[in-house]
Structure 1
Amino acid sequence: MDKNLQMIERLMQTTYALRRKQIIADNPSQSVKDLLENWPALRIESQVCAEFHRITNINLRSKFYAELDKHTPRLLAVYWQKAARTGKTAEALRSIFSAYDLLEQCDVNHRRTAALRALPVFLCEDDSAFFRTWNTEKESEPDIADLAVGLLTMVNEDPSSPVQFSPARIAIVLEGDIVLNDLSYLADAFLMLLGLMYALNICYPKKLIHTFHFIQKVIMGLDDFKPLTPRLLNLKNDLLGRV
């Protein structure tokens, strides 16, 4: 049965204050599964974006894509500078760019994927738990039971390059549960994950705290009145051409 999205939007708008009270004040430790059972509309992409707008008064899709696209050329240039050096971070960046160089680089989705996939690597964060892969032809179930927050890239064959460049689909995982599972590109997945984090009051993964603070503060312009760490401030200054 098709969803009546207009009715869902009206009901979600009407119950917004009740929902925020329940999530933030009444039971902030409530599980994601329970929250989504109470508010199943937050499994719908359009309602994730709508909820983010209710909370921040910012259009999630347009702001995220516009700012990411604005910063991507400089981000890629900064990554390349680091990739030319020695060390594990440089080697990991070169691996990402070796795959990117084989793709059609005028494709905006490839550029966005490179900018986002290389971001935690550049920031020297451990993303091994956050990015998971599921070969749907070889594995009946994904290995996500221990995953609190992450992105699951589904592939139909053994990948010969970083899988985020050529996914069959990408899913968002919260507390071991697939919440959204039909996303086409890595940028879409990051965008929806950010929206869900705000909607469900979810903390950023500790091992990727710099990555998500960069997306929050630099890409989305959402200030929490805490100063940027030196690592993020240096990257922001690089993007803005400041010394």
Structure 2
Amino acid sequence: MAAVMYNFKPYPSDNDVGMAAEALVTSHPCLKEPGSVSGWYGWKMSLKFKMGDYRGKLSRSGCLEVSVNAGKRSKNNPDKDHPHSNIKRARRAEVNFLPNFPKGESQASLEEMRLQIMDEVQKSQQNLRLIEMLMQKTFALRRQEIIQENPQVKDFLGKWPALRIESQLCAEFQRITNVNLRNKFYAVLDQHTPGLMALYRQKAARTGKISEALRDIFKIYDLQVS
């Protein structure tokens, strides 16, 4: 159960754990607690502890997604941050939150790839295929830098100039969320187009250079529609 829950969320909320406990009892009625109002409250508390133990095992095995939150306050280190403060966890859309480095790669080797990317971006004839391959390999290094160091956007783009390339910006979005940015953008834009058209028509009815330009655009648009 802990492993399955972790695949959805490494840090489930109280409601999430309750839903998992309820689903467990619903699928296996023999596990329902006699005398309990809900029939699964004890399982909920048990799963909370199980999730903590499971995250501890993953942290000790080197899983960055949970080990990034290790080293909090304990009996041996009473001066450190509270265990439940400033927890670094994935947001709703982040599928690849903090992956481990690719097999056989280290921070030093990935840093060399980053420098190679910077050299390639500065060339007049960029090898986009090489940039794509290097950006894919160094994805874990960027995520580690973002989550652990929380850099300024200007400084981060200075270290990773390939993210100024449109294709790489879309590729990075898909690496994080598994969502195609262009398709998502155009789909949502189609939903809001009628409202935007009405808003721009109101603007076109006013006076000024911008309104005049909008009127000319709408004249062409209306001719095409008719």
Q: TM-score, normalized by length of structure 2?
A: 0.36
Q: TM-score, normalized by length of structure 1?
A: 0.34
- Which structure has greater strand proportion? 1
Instruction: Choose between structure 1 and 2 for higher RCO, CA contacts under 8 A separated by at least 6 residues.
Output: 1
Rg bigger for which structure? 2
- Which structure has greater helix proportion? 2
